[in-house]
Amino acid sequence: MFRRRSDESAAASTVTMTKEDEKLPRDPQAPKGRPTPKRSEAEANRKTRVSVPKDRKEAAKQARERMRVEREKQRTALLEGDERALPARDKGPVRRYVRDFIDSRWAAAEFFLPYAVVVLVLSITKIGYLQLLSTLLFMVFFVVVILDFVRIGFTLRKGLAERFPNENTRGAVMYGLMRTLQMRRLRLPKPMVKRGERP
């Protein structure tokens, strides 16, 4: 009577053991299918799994290291044009088209910084007519940049409407105009087209 019940439980346990053993690779020297890990190995596995340190300074250090690695990946992507690691503001086919559109054309605004240096040098001279000339040159250049902005903005908006009729292009024109203010060799992401090429 007691024997039959114990036999059934033993059989059930052997069935469950065989099901578990099917999942794990069997070690021929271990009767239960796998060797029991040593305490030192088990503790080492637990420590490697728990990545959150208990010390706040260590946690902050790890967070700074992760951010540094992420920034380095983004900087490399900006230099090489890798779409996968670009910042959110530069990702997507719309932004890529805008960058190529701007980089393939000449724009008056990209010469703003060297022009401003020349005007500044003329304005600090003691000669009166040179100071007046610097002011006039700055006003003329400012008007030229505004007119060029209007021309580029209309052309870019038209190109976006033709190329991406069903996509959200909000902010793309301003993104392109801000890119024209940078000198070509200083632009990030780096230009991927030559002057005269059309995207």
Dist CA 10 CA 186 (whole Å): 77
CA dihedral 89, 90, 93, 95 (to 10 degrees): 80
CA distance 31 to 125: 95
Q: Is there a contact between 179 and 98 (Cβ–Cβ < 8 Å)? A: yes
State the Cα–Cα distance between residues 123 and 104, nearest whole angstrom. 34
Tens of each residue's pLDDT in the chain, 199 residues: 455 554 544 444 444 444 444 455 555 555 566 677 778 777 776 655 545 566 888 888 888 888 888 877 777 767 776 677 778 888 889 999 999 999 999 999 999 888 889 888 888 888 888 889 888 988 999 999 999 999 999 999 999 999 999 888 999 999 999 999 999 988 988 898 998 888 7
Helix (H, G, I), strand (E, B) or coil at 60: helix
Q: What is the CA radius of gyration of the chain?
A: 34
For the chain, the structural domain boundaries read 55-85, 93-181
- Taking the complete model, does pTM exceed 0.85, yes or no? no
Contacts of 188 (CB under 8 A, 6+ apart): 78, 79
DSSP 99-168: HHHHHTS--GGGGHHHHHHHHHHHHTSS-HHHHHHHHHHHHHHHHHHHHHHHHHHHHHHHHHHHH-TTS-
Backbone angles phi, psi at 29, to 5 degrees: -90, -10
* Token pair of 86 as six digits: 């670009």
